[in-house]
Chain A
Amino acid sequence: GQSLEQPSEVTAVEGAIVQINCTYQTSGFYGLSWYQQHDGGAPTFLSYNALDGLEETGRFSSFLSRSDSYGYLLLQELQMKDSASYFCAVRDNYGQNFVFGPGTRLSVLP
């Protein structure tokens, strides 16, 4: 079967650093992606890891360990506008499908 697990909620204050973890179990693996979704909006792409290690994109970084079937999204210098849901997604089935985790709701407090 295919399954991804994420914490359901995370709360942090402005300026802080927060890490959102994702563990996955899928029939195939062609990369781990992260998407952000604000309330009432559509998911938007944040980051992608195909190989082990850290990818940095501005305030956001994403990490992957394929041997542990584990990844995380790191958000630095949190801002109020970062309050949103964050989804990890695995590309599997020879790269044809994207399977999403249940999402982590991040609340950034002043």
Chain B
Amino acid sequence: NAGVTQTPKFRILKIGQSMTLQCAQDMNHNYMYWYRQDPGMGLKLIYYSVGAGITDKGEVPNGYNVSRSTTEDFPLRLELAAPSQTSVYFCASSSSKQGANSPLHFGNGTRLTVT
């Protein structure tokens, strides 16, 4: 199993450019998440989805959009990149079950720099 796969691993954007961060999971998980992590900080939830066709805002959604057309894929869209969006972005997935057998599985992250 590949688990959670994120692409690209690194990206440099100019202010005002747009891009899509890709995320795919092969564990048939219902729940998927996008977090951002600034240097030396914790993880902030951007958007999440509890199933195909269902998305909702997290703590820091401004400047981002998501879609969930399939169970496997959960892309994150940045429309007008700003320096404040320089961060490491982690996609994660989880089973909808409660308990220790349903932790978050993280991708390896996308390191984004906006200049």
Answer whether residue B99 sits at the interface, using C-beta atoms and an 8 A cutoff: yes
Partner of A42, one of B33, B45, B90: B90
Interface residues on B, range: 20 to 34
In the complex, what distance in Å separates the CA atom of A17 from the CA atom of B31? Answer: 35
CB distance from A78 to the nearest CB of B (A): 22
What per-residue 1/0 map shows which CB atoms of A16-59 lie under 8 Å from chain B? 00000000000000110101000001111101101000010000
Partner of A43, one of B43, B48, B96: B43
- Known contacts A48-B103, A96-B48, A99-B45; A43 and B90 CB within 8 A of each other: yes
Answer whether residue A71 sits at the interface, using C-beta atoms and an 8 A cutoff: no
Name 6 A/B residue pairs within 8 A (Cβ), A-sorted.
A45-B105, A48-B100, A96-B48, A96-B50, A100-B35, A100-B44
With A50-B100, A101-B42 already in contact, 5 other A-B pairs whose C-beta atoms are closer than 8 Å: A43-B43, A48-B99, A95-B98, A96-B50, A100-B35
Q: Are B42 and A87 in contact (CB under 8 A)?
A: yes
Closest Cβ neighbor of A8 among chain B residues = B40
